[in-house]
Chains A and B, each alone.
Chain A
Amino acid sequence: MSDFIDGLEQDLVAAARRRTAESGGRRRTTRSLRTVVLALAIAVGAAGAAAAATLYTLRGAVIPAPAAVDVPPSQTLVPDSAEVSRLRVADPASGVAPWTIRVGRSSTGYVCSTVGQVVDGRFGLIGMDGRFRELAVGSTDSCGQERKGTVTLVGARIFAAKRARDVRTVISGVAGDDLRRVRLRTSRGTSDVPRSDGGTFVAVFAGYPEDVGAEVTLTFADGHRETEPLGVDPSVVLDPERGPAWRPQGGMMSGDARQCASFAHARPSPKVASSPAVCGLLTDPRSDGRVRKGFFLAARRLPPSRPRPRTSRNWFPGHWRGAARTAVWGATGDDVAAVEVTGPGVPRRSIYDAERRAILGVFPASVRPASLTITVTTKDGTVRTVRGDHGLVDEPVPMRMPPGTTMPGRNRP
């Protein structure tokens, strides 16, 4: 093995250990935002300063396809089968080549699709350097088994970029000749998505799908509808000022019986905005901690502050980093069924993710926290109404450990 291969393994395992330590082994499975292409099968499948980015200036004018050895037959495109759709969907920026989809068949008969742009009849991508590069015929985003009368492929391909305005989400799919209509719903509005032969469709917008709550609904000849929540997730909260979406975070400090909650941008980035952590007791510290009841929350106006680089070591920041917002955030026990908020200019709505037992609502900074009425309904039908912070516990509460046990890293001789 080389130093690089061995060293990278050590780095990755060390990072995995840090994540395990931070989560206390309680890391839970989160539902994926369906931001990568949905398919039955999706495989396609320096000497220099360590800190410097590797520049990728492709010498040739074609982005090469994977070698045959690297892709299983189900994802190996039969070259003659690939056809660029007649669809041409304008990029949000003016003067940029339109987007489309290329569809073909794998050697095992799967339907494969690739999104790209068209310039002078050629299919490829325009780079940030403004240069067009063809995507070789064997390059596919996804392949899946054809399904009659329903959707075969649908997904959102995200083209990330350093500058937010350069990020693109291309929603595309293949749904067969029975497809009659595709509607794209986002926080910016609802629109019909252009379709073409074989039920291919393409839509493109600037930004990430979760920031606008993107969702497509397909209607078929027999009248049935299918909705794909490509940027919708119960835990993700849209930003009221059309900024990046938010997601609650929760956890416990080592040796502390309190539960803590904060929130941050849903999509991780080196300079992610994040809220202060607030904590409360959902368990009796004298108990074994299995039964969690009640709730705690903060309702505050958060003044503007510059986001800072975020690492796994400052997961629970002490103060707000982000643009000015008013927010309600916290956590509940197992006995809570619903949490709603209402106030002047704030129509009544849920701010509760029952699966994660997390409370999160984000509002413009013009909303006064004290004007917000938060209604908490428990499973036995009891309704409580609160304004402002509720149930917060600022000081750590020692966790009662069963006899004979010690906290990891503590009480060692």
Chain B
Amino acid sequence: MGRDDRRTDEELLAATAHAPDAFGAFYRRHVEALLGYLLRRTARPDLAADICAETFATVLERIERFDPARGSARGWLFAIAGHQLVDSVRSGQVEDRARQRLGIERRALTDHDLERIDALLDRGDGDDLTVLLAGLPDEQRVALQARVLDERDYTEIAASLEVSEAVVRKRVSRGLAFLRGQMEGGRR
């Protein structure tokens, strides 16, 4: 697991200005979820891919405008994608202005690409942990991610977050209780 994986989305976006690879980490973390989201709304892998590319280009272009106080980076990414999608429906074609300005050319999709994107449709089983995590308050999400996904011990997490171990345990416990509720609710 790379160092980037331990940084929050917000930290990755903030780091992009001086460490461009951080944007790659942000991209890798969300690209499949975003493609799946767009595929489920468009039912066309070519459209999903094109809107996804324009969305990430837009995020990169506007990265200085991102304000964590107004919502999560993931939420911002998906909101931009949602707007891109609706704008594409309205205008009848997918924009590529952000890619043009960044010097990124549209990429041709191979059959393998299309199959790969199509396969993401089957992943939507309702228990996508990243989606569930996105619904948590930041402090619980960070604690849960560090403890459950990154398998770090409580002492280490407490030191990195500069809080007591008891606080970390409480955040993890509350986060897990929330997730349990969500997953049970989703299956009803």
Does more than half of chain A's interface fall in helix, strand or loop, or is it mixed? loop
Q: Report A41-69 residues with CB < 8 Å from chain B CB.
A: 41-58, 63-69
A312-B94 Cα distance, complex, nearest whole Å: 22
Query: Do B105 and A51 touch (CB < 8 A)?
Result: yes
Query: Do A56 and B70 touch (CB < 8 A)?
Result: no
- Residues 106-134 of chain B: 1 if any A CB is under 8 Å from the residue's CB, otherwise 0? 11111111101100000011101001101
Is B101 an interface residue, CB under 8 A from the partner?
yes
Query: Do A30 and B107 touch (CB < 8 A)?
Result: no
A59 to chain B: closest residue by CB: B43
B101 to chain A: closest residue by CB: A268
CB < 8 Å: which of B36, B74, B103, B108 contacts A47? B108
Stretch from A81-89, A125-133, A288-296, A325-333 that touches the partner: A125-133
Query: Do A55 and B67 touch (CB < 8 A)?
Result: no
Is A3 an interface residue, CB under 8 A from the partner?
yes
Stretch from A21-29, A94-102, A374-382 that touches the partner: A21-29
Given contacts A8-B31, A43-B75, contact A27 B108 (CB under 8 A): no
Is A411 an interface residue, CB under 8 A from the partner?
no
Query: Do A46 and B50 touch (CB < 8 A)?
Result: yes
Given contacts A12-B56, A56-B89, A66-B82, contact A270 B101 (CB under 8 A): yes
CB < 8 Å: which of A20, A28, A41, A49 contacts B64? A28
Q: Report B21-66 residues with CB < 8 Å from chain A CB.
A: 21, 23-24, 27-28, 31-33, 35-37, 40-42, 45-47, 49-50, 52-53, 56-57, 60-62, 64-65
Contacts of B102 in A (CB 8 A): 15, 18-19, 312
Is B96 an interface residue, CB under 8 A from the partner?
yes
A344-B76 Cα distance, complex, nearest whole Å: 47
Given contacts A2-B112, A2-B113, A16-B16, contact A69 B128 (CB under 8 A): yes
A45-B36 Cα distance, complex, nearest whole Å: 12
Query: Do A46 and B41 touch (CB < 8 A)?
Result: no
- A34 CB to closest chain B CB (Å) equals 9
Is A161 an interface residue, CB under 8 A from the partner?
yes
Is B88 an interface residue, CB under 8 A from the partner?
yes
A22-B45 Cα distance, complex, nearest whole Å: 34
Query: Do A47 and B57 touch (CB < 8 A)?
Result: no
Is B3 an interface residue, CB under 8 A from the partner?
no
Contacts of A9 in B (CB 8 A): 24, 27-28, 31
Given contacts A41-B75, A45-B37, contact A69 B124 (CB under 8 A): yes
Query: Do A160 and B95 touch (CB < 8 A)?
Result: yes
Given contacts A55-B93, A68-B186, A127-B92, contact A50 B101 (CB under 8 A): no
Query: Do A13 and B20 touch (CB < 8 A)?
Result: yes
Is B17 an interface residue, CB under 8 A from the partner?
yes
Contacts of A20 in B (CB 8 A): 17-18, 20
Contacts of A127 in B (CB 8 A): 89-92
A67-B61 Cα distance, complex, nearest whole Å: 27
A53-B92 Cα distance, complex, nearest whole Å: 10
Is A410 an interface residue, CB under 8 A from the partner?
no
Given contacts A25-B17, A66-B40, A70-B124, contact A270 B57 (CB under 8 A): no
Query: Do A160 and B107 touch (CB < 8 A)?
Result: no
Query: Do B21 and A13 touch (CB < 8 A)?
Result: yes
- A93 CB to closest chain B CB (Å) equals 14
Is A5 an interface residue, CB under 8 A from the partner?
yes
A263-B172 Cα distance, complex, nearest whole Å: 49
- B32 CB to closest chain A CB (Å) equals 8
Query: Do A53 and B93 touch (CB < 8 A)?
Result: yes
Query: Do A46 and B109 touch (CB < 8 A)?
Result: yes
Query: Do B79 and A45 touch (CB < 8 A)?
Result: yes
Query: Do A45 and B110 touch (CB < 8 A)?
Result: no
Contacts of A3 in B (CB 8 A): 110, 112-113
Query: Do B87 and A52 touch (CB < 8 A)?
Result: no
A133-B79 Cα distance, complex, nearest whole Å: 20
A63-B42 Cα distance, complex, nearest whole Å: 9
Given contacts A12-B104, A49-B108, contact A72 B131 (CB under 8 A): yes
Contacts of A46 in B (CB 8 A): 45-47, 49-50, 108-109, 114
- B11 CB to closest chain A CB (Å) equals 14
A246-B71 Cα distance, complex, nearest whole Å: 28
Is A310 an interface residue, CB under 8 A from the partner?
yes
CB < 8 Å: which of B71, B89, B114 contacts A133? B89
A58 to chain B: closest residue by CB: B89
Contacts of B32 in A (CB 8 A): 5
- Residues 305-316 of chain A: 1 if any B CB is under 8 Å from the residue's CB, otherwise 0? 000011111000
A-B pairs, 5 with minimum CB distance: A43-B75, A46-B46, A72-B135, A45-B78, A16-B20
Contact sample, A vs B, 10 pairs, CB 8 Å cutoff: A4-B109, A4-B110, A12-B60, A19-B60, A42-B71, A44-B78, A54-B94, A125-B89, A270-B100, A312-B103
Interface residues of A (CB under 8 A from B): 1-5, 7-9, 11-13, 15-20, 23, 25, 27-33, 36, 38-58, 63-75, 125-129, 133, 135, 139, 141-142, 157, 159-162, 268-270, 309-313
